[in-house]
């Protein structure tokens, strides 16, 4: 079955949560309900409420040449130990796992695919490749063509479906 975007009328495959062309939400929320948070999880909720909002452009820390700033939570994930990272989410029964698992950050509800994109560090440059994800990848709201490398600049906002991360590159002082 093919879903049609109500905004731009782009045809999407069944199961897509967001339009890969314009980013519009495709799934109706009717029939879904929220779940009560057990008392044992209330500490995590309180910690999130009391956390200070993230700065508009966080500072790089440690030895990482590049890091990913999760916009919604303010958490920073340093890219260290290799030159190439797959980004996605883990799902039960999945045999190939992403290097950076966004599952703990509600990635599924934001439209992140299991293997959504690859980020490569090439010297001082940072590149991203969409791996044919269901809900697309955007850099500063510009669509990334699947399987083509696109350069990422310091401060760029990358949307994996509706999940937003900000690229932070080490800025050497002149």
Q: What's the pLDDT at 63? A: 65
* Digit-coded pLDDT (tens) for 45-92: 454 444 444 444 445 445 678 899 999 999 999 998 899 999 999 988
Residues of the chain with pLDDT under 50: 29-37, 39-45, 47-58, 60-61, 174
Locus of tokens 């560090």 = 121
Share of the chain above pLDDT 90, in %: 49
Whether residue 57 contacts residue 166, with contact meaning beta carbons closer than 8 Å, is answered with yes
Q: What's the pLDDT at 93? A: 83
Residue in 148, 149, 167 with CA at minimum distance from that of residue 69:
167
Cα gap 161→69, rounded to integer Å: 16
């Amino acid at each position: 079955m093919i879903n049609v975007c109500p905004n731009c009328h782009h045809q999407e495959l069944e199961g897509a949560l967001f339009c890969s062309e314009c980013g519009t939400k495709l799934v109706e929320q009717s029939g879904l309900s929220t779940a009560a948070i057990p008392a044992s999880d209330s500490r995590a909720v309180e910690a999130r409420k009391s956390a200070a909002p993230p700065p508009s452009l966080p500072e790089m820390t440690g030895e990482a040449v590049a890091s990913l700033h999760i916009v919604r939570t303010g958490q920073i994930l340093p890219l260290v130990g290799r030159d190439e990272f797959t980004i996605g989410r883990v799902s039960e029964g999945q045999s190939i796992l992403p290097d950076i698992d966004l599952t703990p950050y509600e990635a599924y509800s934001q439209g992140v695919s299991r293997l959504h994109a690859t980020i490569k560090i090439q010297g001082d440059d940072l590149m991203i490749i969409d791996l044919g994800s269901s809900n697309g990848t955007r850099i500063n709201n510009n669509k990334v063509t699947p399987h083509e490398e696109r350069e990422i600049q310091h401060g760029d906002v990358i949307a994996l479906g509706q999940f937003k991360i900000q690229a932070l590159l080490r800025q050497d002082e002149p």
